[in-house]
Structure 1
Amino acid sequence: MTSIAESVNSVAPVELVEHAPAVRRALPDTVGRALADAEIVEATRDPYSPGHWSLRAGSKVGAVTVTVPGGAPLTVRVTPKVPIVRLFFLLGYSLDRKGSWRDGEVEVAEHRDLVPALAHAVERQVDRSLRRGLLQGYQATEATALVIRGRLREAEQIRRRFGAGLPVEVAYDEFTTDIAENRILRTAVERLLRLPGVPHEVRRRLLHQRGRLADVTAIVRGQPIPAWQPTRLNARYHPALHLARAVLDGFSAEHAPGGLRVDGFLFDMNKLFEDFVTVALRDACCGTGHTARLQDPHHLDEAAAIRMKPDFVLYGPDGTPCAVVDAKYKAEKRGGYPDDDLYQMLAYCTALGLREGHLVYAKGNAAHAAHTVRHAGIVIHQHALDLDQEPTGVLTDIEQIALRLVNTPRV
């Protein structure tokens, strides 16, 4: 079985690097507009050369395929600047910091592109989860039957049967493999099988996993992902479920007007970095008597008309805010950090009544900096987190930032 991108009719893929200079490419206008409208990449039509587009990748990494009716599919691949093994460390920690799965277990280091590494990781974790057979559980079921099973749905029986004895409307709990955990795994496998760039051997193994889950209902697109609760009984599923959820939360297939189809998977590195930093800081502050809240809602003004949601707010033992953090994946200016972030942090500190605020960046062009705001005395710290180092080094740097947060002087 071949993917869309591997079709004999496909054209040469567009290869981009996250936040790298733009690439100029001849494209049908429908494809260029689809890339721009879906915010896959920054796509700009060349006004002086009809049929040519300038394509520049932002913070979304992965691969998508755009198919126009009657035209050859075009695959766009965006490679992250962060090594794949580091990306999976960030993802794994933010999803499951207790270490249920690690990059060494899924051998992501041998894959240079995100989609092959992700497909390989999911397949290996699904295989480990299903080695002792499919998990079973009780599923609430409502049905029409010729015999009473479970309990009679009296109101439904009267409404639909008008007093007739048969058939009967019943409700019962069925012990089955068609439960939320298996449905999530099945749907993630199905999603990966549709992605461009999945290696043949990994695709073959994914098909095998789909066969093992053949009696499980896949989640229909548009339906909410069913909830599941971590328990001792489903513990062997935890790593696969966390990773499968990342697949389902990623960019998916869409149908655009005119039969245009966009199919693929993208990680937003901004969101991934933010999730990692806030979860790691929360863990590092644990046990200090402080409480951390992520995406904590507040208001800037007295009338509570202007909402703001800092990525991370730390509260002291007395329940009052003592530190605020915002995570920024990229410093966008060659000269260092963007000034807009300073203004945003100043607003956070002012509204929360704090003397210090902290911005955490993925390491860019500037080292740690601190700015004291005139006539306010507020100090805004800018931290640079080096993602190229080993995971232990990254977490050590996080712990140093957390120590500063806990010891922030109060107003």
Structure 2
Amino acid sequence: MTQVVELVEHTSAMGIPLPDAVGRALAAGDVVDAAPDPYAPGRWSLRAGSKVGAVAVVVPGKDEPVTVRVTPKVAIARLFFLLGYSLDPKGSWRDGQVDIAGHRDLLPALAHTVERQIDRALRQGLLQGYLATEETSLVVRGRVREAEQIRRRFGATLPVEVEYDEFTIDIAENRLLRTAVERLLRLPGVPHDVRRGLLHQRARLADVTVIVRGRPLPVWQPSRLNSRYQHALHLARTVLENNSVEHAPGALRVDGFLFDMNKLFEDFVTVALREACRSLGHSARLQDPHHLDEASAIRMKPDFVLYGPSGAPCAVVDAKYKTEKRDGFPDADLYQMLAYCTALGLREGHLVYAKGNAPHAAHTVRHAGIVIHQHALDLDQEPSGLLSDVEKVAARLVSTPRV
């Protein structure tokens, strides 16, 4: 029988009976905080951090894996709104109507959403495009690669090294969709009806090349031609980029999918603020590199720097996915923001948290006159209310004075 361990993000540690090999694999894979219980052999202390999702650890000699599920504190529908908006703020995600078919767990909801988006993308048939192809041929097609012909053939007439553009379905967009489908089919906890849908999409994409794991993902550019693919492509890249767990420590195999809520919240806040500030006539840069010192030896990279019409910085923001504790937010966040304000010549800085006891607080730094604002966004509210709160933060940003 499969052992399923249920955890909730950022809650107290739980003592769970686990094989030592599984506990070590969870700790090594940075899935959860895992440590052996010194007083109870065979039990491990597990505590979930900011990563949510599910992983399965397969132990050699056992038929069933040990599955660890980490549930987010945010409702699944809200999580998918944050994800969808950060990927495509102009898309249909804005109204919060995301098709998760009532799934309560993250992985079934993710797999269902991706399968539905791929189905919509492919209803009018597979997109085709031109693909640059190089091959050795007995007939001249396209142009001859003269340097390769000389290097490989030593002056022989045939075969010919040629390069041409082929009109095909084996393009970047279809490769991303096919590879995402394959990845989801290997994940634990995908319901049978969703798996059936994914198998149908794989059959549609059967003639498309699967991207080899570890190789860079192909680049695609939004256009009128691939507009019906774009939602599906955004989700496919999310499945494939930096969120998958798939490795084999020793004889074990760990397979799963995890969202990092820290990154998800940061992406949403910075994208939503950028969109809100753009409507107010300001531009913004995300993860904007700067230096703290005159010698440019100490680098810093604020999450969000707002620029005014003159091109000078006018506001700086850092997003922090953590809830306020009884004694307040961590002081280290304030010290970091103070450094940002000093280096950028700003009199105010802004920290945006996922939740707090009050929507806004401000601290004036002694002998400096710099004011550090702490904003709290309630992620449990409707998308329209959340975006309205972001717009209020944006309005405060554009009025931030410089030193």
User: 2: distance between equivalents of 1:253 and 1:173?
Assistant: 36
**What SS does the aligned partner of 2:34 have?**
strand
Contact 1:44 1:54 in 2 (8 A): yes
For the 8 Å contact 2:324–2:355, the answer to whether it is kept is no
Q: Please tell me whether residue 312 in structure 1 is matched to residue 314 in structure 2.
A: no
Counterpart of 1:276 in structure 2 is 268
Deviations 1:266-309 (A, max 9, x none): 00000000000000001111133322111011111111111111
1:404 and 1:106 map into 2 onto residues whose CA distance is 30
1:68 is displaced (CA, Å) by: 2.5
| 2:231 is the counterpart of 1:239 | yes
Is 2:29 the counterpart of 1:38?
yes
Whole-Å separation in 2 of the counterparts to 1:100 and 1:152: 47
Aligned to 1:62: 53
Structure 2 counterpart of 1:30, one-letter code? A
**Correspondence for 1:4:** none
Distance 2:180 2:340 in 1: 39
Counterpart residue number, 1:94: 86
- TM-score, normalisation: structure 1: 0.95
Contact 1:253–1:261 (8 Å) recurs in 2 = no
Maintained 8 Å contact 1:337/1:366: no
2:214 corresponds to 1:222 = yes
Q: Distance in 2 between matches of 1:368 and 1:386?
A: 12
Moved more, 247-256 or 212-221: 247-256
Describe the SS at the equivalent of 2:234.
helix
Q: 1:373-411, CA deviations, whole angstroms, 9 ceiling, x for partnerless residues?
A: 111111111011011110000010000000000011232
Query: Residue type of the partner of 1:92?
Result: G
Is the Cα contact below 8 Å between 1:136 and 1:177 reproduced in 2? yes
Of 45, 67, 77, the match for 1:85? 77
Gaps of 5+ in 2: none
Could you tell me how far 1:162 is from its partner in structure 2? 2.1
Q: Equivalent residues in 2 for 1:187-206 (5 A)? A: 187-206=179-198
Distance 1:253 1:61, change over 3 A: closer
Counterparts of 2:284 and 2:352, CA distance in 1 = 16
Deviation at 1:45, TM superposition (A): 1.2
Q: What amino acid sits opposite 1:76 in the alignment?
A: V
Q: 1:105 to 1:177 in 2, by over 3 A?
A: farther
SS of 2:362's equivalent?
strand
How far is 1:254 from its partner? Answer: 3.0
Q: Deviations over 1:330-371 (max 9, x none)?
A: 136332211111111111111111111100001134542111
Aligned equivalents of 1:296, 1:106: Cα separation in 2: 31
How far the C-alpha of 1:193 sits from its partner, in A, is: 0.5
Output the aligned Cα RMSD.
1.5
Identity %: 79
- Which amino acid in 2 is paired with 1:112? R
Matched, 1:252 2:244: yes
Distance 1:67 1:299 in 2: 46
Is 1:337 the counterpart of 2:329 in the alignment? yes
Written as runs of structure 1 = structure 2, the 5 A alignment for 1:2-401 is: 10-71=1-62, 72-101=64-93, 106-108=98-100, 110-331=102-323, 333-401=325-393
Q: Give the direction of change, closer, same or farther, for the CA distance of 1:177–1:277 in structure 2 (3 Å limit).
A: same
Rounded to whole Å, the distance in 2 between the matches of 1:403 and 1:16 is 38
Pairs aligned (count): 402
